[in-house]
Amino acid sequence: MPEGFTLPRGMHDIYPEEMAERLWLYERILNVMRRYAFQLVEPTPIEALETLEAKSGPAIRDEIYHFKDKAGRNLGLRFDLTVGMTRMVASRSDLPEPFKICSISGMWRYDEPQFARYRYFHQWDAEIYGSEHPSADAEIIALSIDILDEVGLGNHEILISSRPLVEGYLESLGIDNKNTREEILRVIDKIRKAPRPELVERLRPLTSSQENLESITEFVMLKGNPDKILDELSSLKCRSESYIRGLETLSSLVEYLGWYGKLDRCILDMSIVRGIDYYDGIVFEAYDRGGEEVGAILGGGRYDCLGRIYGNRDLPATGVAGGIERMLISLRREKLIPEGVSQSPKVFVASVNDGVRGEVVALASKIREEIPCEIDLKNRSLRRQLEYAESIGVLYTVIVGPKELGEGRVKIRDMERRMEEEVPVSSMVDYLKGKIYI
Amino acid sequence: MPEGFTLPRGMHDIYPEEMAERLWLYERILNVMRRYAFQLVEPTPIEALETLEAKSGPAIRDEIYHFKDKAGRNLGLRFDLTVGMTRMVASRSDLPEPFKICSISGMWRYDEPQFARYRYFHQWDAEIYGSEHPSADAEIIALSIDILDEVGLGNHEILISSRPLVEGYLESLGIDNKNTREEILRVIDKIRKAPRPELVERLRPLTSSQENLESITEFVMLKGNPDKILDELSSLKCRSESYIRGLETLSSLVEYLGWYGKLDRCILDMSIVRGIDYYDGIVFEAYDRGGEEVGAILGGGRYDCLGRIYGNRDLPATGVAGGIERMLISLRREKLIPEGVSQSPKVFVASVNDGVRGEVVALASKIREEIPCEIDLKNRSLRRQLEYAESIGVLYTVIVGPKELGEGRVKIRDMERRMEEEVPVSSMVDYLKGKIYI
């Protein structure tokens, strides 16, 4: 095969078996999002490059696909769904608020491909626009937990923090330079991937004193039951305005999470700060309780400033996203996708000879009104038809022969038990419906 | 708003109202494809440029989005789903044959944007690989008709022809040059868009005699009931081998279409040749019977050679594709999408005062186990909550007040009739389920 005709590096085709798993998963995620009254949308995959750069600056170009169109416009492929959804909402002032939307779709990043990490991958994403109230963050976290439960990944816990609170704490230590604070947040964000001594070494040049260094490392170790951590955060008596507001918001969030009945699924963890630039409020990530170290299965938070960039008006926003491929890995590993998940038809209609091909088509059309079914499309002998039916894994084969047909009957073969029964044509569909769970 | 933050020219965001229509449409199309045992797949949106050029040559570059990645590889965005699906199947020799797959997804072409024609648009697509038999073409055409019926567009008829038959006819006129024949096919393909005298003028330079010109224009006027046209095609006594095989195939196709019970929906029409380069067998398009001149709503045919290019082995193939946006236009124009199609929640749960916000969240969580519902996420007064509920079009609002709650009851307001009933909390969900069709 000429090299040019292969799949480009890092790209991904979805074949029927994998699509069956995805359809199973998408349906479950969409179900929960629907119950929470999120409405499905799809932003354009191609954005103006300026839109993609709006928050991160031109540095993002290294990580994305971008190009000029024939009119010289700078365009790029979306790297997440949040940016496009925010631009969609920010560009319209006629939408009700809050406006709750969701999406499941593909995106592209120019990463080095790794095991199950493609340059083309999919996320599910849910966002609430137009509410600055922590009840919206609680709604997002409750949704996230219900999605995990619905797909069978209830063994994950939600680790929650607040960017303004952590930043306020750093401020109160006298770290006045915003860039230094952001640098520190970036180091903290790596805490799950690097050993602690290494982090201390990386924090040292960013802090002015050993005391500060110890305060920070101690602070980001705060992790536990929400009420307990809220008490500890209060007892720090930190006077930074940002800290005080952050703590109030976090308390209100915890109150709401209690009302949602989700508090036992949530942990406050001051080391959660999220890497992505646009977050500026409550942030959270979900990890396997068993400590499986494959990264967060979902994450999100509040990003009140992004909407203002795109829409030139206040548009508070909070949301969550999760990787579909990442979720599929966990689901497969824990064997949580039901075995029967498949797109293969369960019924084949075979012709004993060429004289009954017309009847086979007519009978298959009748079955197809109720049950997916397959027929021979290669003009094969009965033996070859049965081999094919076996190879695609059908459960029942209707065998149409001239003799039985003359008596108004067909044979139906149970492919697994290798048993046949004669059934009147008039009750064929009901017989199959009784045997097959569609 | 800075210009750079708008949607790029020709691109398209799908907002909730349009997505609701699409979900309605996709579900219907997928249902029919599933019944016919097609399995859903998704080829990568980014292909190697060579893959996209394989059949059409570098000329296609003018019509598509293409670019180099950071490693200097030539890539392009898919312009249809057929190319990717064919590459997917051709690159695997372990798949059962026939292999029947389908897809509904987006693609890109660098066209001049027009009314409802975007540079980013969607198609549904179904393909059968591994059968050279006309029964596969019949299956594709039967599927197409059932899809049109399922979505309510049964007023369309399928116009069918055969490329080898038409080419064979041209051969028999002494037009030996393949390029000239293809040039003639391209002119014929325009027959629906240009007045007849213009076509004659465009055909004249491609034919050597007035007699040939008349023969061709007469031939492409052949159109009508399949059995009648088959008779006329036979009576032409054309000796070209390609013509004879084409006619045999067409006769067999017509026999199968009869067995599918679809013959009254089909017309043989020798002016159908399909523009796209890869077709080389049976071809067809569907048009509004009423003569609505907005182009074909779907089209397809056989392309046995494309698989050989990608896979270096014989891979006969036949399929169909239709434009989603094109279909939505017809559906909207004929008001065929049910009025109730919407993603808005039907229920809102309101709090009379702040003291019951916790109960509101708990009751809403209960309702959400069965019915999508919305709550206040902005800490609004009851009056503002009811205004919001009205603005998003909910049918019922559950009003939670401390007094009623103390008696184990809630008020449920019928928003349209503006009537309220008190309902025990224990039967609230059943009450709503009885009122709302989900």
pLDDT tens profile B289-324: 987 667 899 999 999 999 999 998 899 999 999 999
Task: With beta carbons under 8 A apart, name residues in chain A contacting B130.
Answer: 378
pLDDT of residue A438: 62
Asked if A376's CB is within 8 angstroms of B5's CB, the reply is: no
- Determine whether the interchain pair A8/B87 forms a contact, defined as Cβ–Cβ distance below 8 Å: no
Shortest alpha-carbon distance between residue B85 and chain A (Å): 9
Q: Which two tokens stand for residue A231?
A: 């008490």
Q: What is the mean pLDDT of residues A274-298?
A: 86
Distance from CA of B13 to the nearest CA of A (A): 5
Are A357 and A375 within 8 A, CB to CB?
A: no
Domains of chain A and any CATH numbers: 3-333 (3.30.930.10), 347-435 (3.40.50.800)
Whether residue A4 has pLDDT greater than 60 = no
Q: In the predicted model, what is the mean pLDDT of residues A157-169? A: 96
Structure-token match 């750079």, residue found: B4
In sequence order, what are the residues at sequence separation of 6 or more whose Cβ sits closer than 8 angstroms to the Cβ of residue A193? Answer: none
Asked whether the beta carbons of residue A45 and residue B106 sit closer than 8 angstroms, the reply is: yes
Least confidently predicted of A175-179, A192-196, B402-406, B423-427? A192-196
pLDDT (average), residues A421-434: 97
User: Residue A199 above 60 pLDDT?
Assistant: yes
Q: Read out DSSP for B86-138?
A: HHHHHT-SSS-SSEEEEEEEEEE--PPPBTTB-SEEEEEEEEEES--SHHHHH
| Other Cβ atoms closer than 10 A to B4 | 16
Q: Tell me if B378 and A130 make a contact (CB, 8 A cut-off).
A: yes
CB contact under 8 A, A44 and B7: yes
Q: Verify whether the Cβ–Cβ distance B19 to A13 is below 8 Å.
A: no
Is A75 in Cβ contact with B42 (below 8 Å)?
no
Query: Which chain B residue's Cα is nearest to A358?
Result: B259
Strands across the sheet with A46-48, in order? A46-48, A74-77, A66-68
**What is the pLDDT, as a whole number, of residue B438?**
62
Average pLDDT over residues A114-139: 93
Beta pairing class for B223-224 and B373-375: unpaired
Residue A276 above 70 pLDDT? Answer: no
Query: What is the model's pLDDT at position B292?
Result: 62
Q: What is the pLDDT of residues B193-206, one digit of tens each?
A: 777 788 888 899 99
Q: Are B349 and B363 in contact, with CB atoms under 8 Å apart?
A: yes
Q: Which residues in B lie closer than 8 A to residue A258 (C-beta atoms)?
A: 358
Whole-number pLDDT of residue A397: 98
B246 or B182, higher pLDDT: B246
Q: Do B48 and A6 touch (CB under 8 A)?
A: yes
Tens-digit pLDDT profile for residues A200-230: 888 999 988 999 999 999 999 999 999 999 9
Q: Give chain B positions within 8 Å (CB) of A15.
A: 41, 88
Split at pLDDT 50, 70, 90, the class of B250 is very high
- The answer to whether A319 touches A125, Cβ cutoff 8 Å, is yes
Interface test with A, best of B1, B44, B109, B377 (most A CBs within 10 A): B377
* CA-wise closest residue to A63 among A314, A335, A309, A275: A275
Taking an 8 Å cut-off on Cβ atoms, the answer to whether B259 and A358 are in contact is yes
Element (H, E) at B46: strand B46-48
pLDDT at B362 over 50: yes
pLDDT given for residue A1 in this prediction: 42
Residue B171 above 60 pLDDT?
yes
Residue A267: pLDDT band (50, 70, 90) is: very high
A322-331, B54-63, B94-103: lowest mean pLDDT where? B54-63
CA distance A297 to chain B (A): 23
More confident residue, A313 or A44: A44
Q: What is the spatial distance between Cα B333 and Cα B173, in angstroms, rounded to a whole number?
A: 45
Q: What percent of chain B has pLDDT over 70?
A: 97
Beta strands (DSSP E) in A341-392 are 347-351, 373-375
Give SS3 for B199: helix
- Which phi and psi angles does A229 have, rounded to 5°? -65, -40
At residue B403, φ and ψ (nearest 5 deg) are -65, -55
Q: Nearest C-alpha of chain A: how many angstroms from B138?
A: 9
What was the pLDDT predicted at A292? 62
Helix axes B241-259, B226-235, angle to 10 degrees: 160
Asked if pLDDT for residue A99 goes beyond 90, the answer is yes
Do the chains contact at A8 and B110, CB–CB below 8 Å?
no
> B136 to chain A: nearest residue by CA?
A377
Residue B276 pLDDT grade (very low, low, confident, very high; cuts 50, 70, 90): low
CA distance A12 to chain B (A): 5
Highest averaged pLDDT of the listed ranges A134-143, A302-311, B2-11, B48-57: A134-143
Q: What is the pLDDT of residue B400?
A: 98
Please judge whether A34 and B372 are an interchain contact, meaning their C-beta atoms are less than 8 angstroms apart.
Answer: yes
Lowest mean pLDDT among A304-313, B106-115, B302-311, B336-345: B106-115
Contact (CB<8Å) A376/B139: no
Minimal CA separation from A192 to chain B, in Å: 30
All residues of chain B having their beta carbon less than 8 Å from the beta carbon of residue A49 are: 4
Q: How far apart are CA A6 and CA B311, in angstroms?
A: 10
Cα(A265)–Cα(A268) distance, integer angstroms:
10
How many inter-chain contacts (A to B, CB under 8 Å) are there?
249
- Mean pLDDT for the stretch of residues B52-72: 90
Whole-angstrom distance, CA of residue B34 vs CA of residue A250:
48
pLDDT of residue A277 exceeding 50: yes
What average pLDDT does the segment A37-52 reach?
97
Structure tokens at B77: 């965005």
Question: Does position B1 have pLDDT exceeding 70, yes or no?
Answer: no
Q: Quote the minimal CA–CA distance from B38 to chain A in Å.
A: 8
Q: Do A40 and B23 touch (CB under 8 A)?
A: yes
From A66's Cα to the closest Cα of chain B, the distance in A is 8
Mean pLDDT of A365-384: 97
Q: How far is A17 from B32, CA to CA, in rounded Å?
A: 19
Poorest-pLDDT segment among A121-130, A332-341, B131-140: A332-341
Q: Would you say residue A45 has pLDDT above 70?
A: yes
Residues of A in contact with B25 (CB under 8 A): none
For the stretch B411-438, what's the b/e string if a residue is b when 16 or more beta carbons lie within 10 angstroms of its beta carbon? bbbebeeeeeeebebeebbebbeeebee
Cβ contact B6–A48 (<8 Å) = yes
- Nearest CA-CA partner of B159 in B66, B290, B87, B267: B267
Are β-strands A39-40 and A99-108 bridged in parallel, bridged antiparallel, or unpaired? parallel
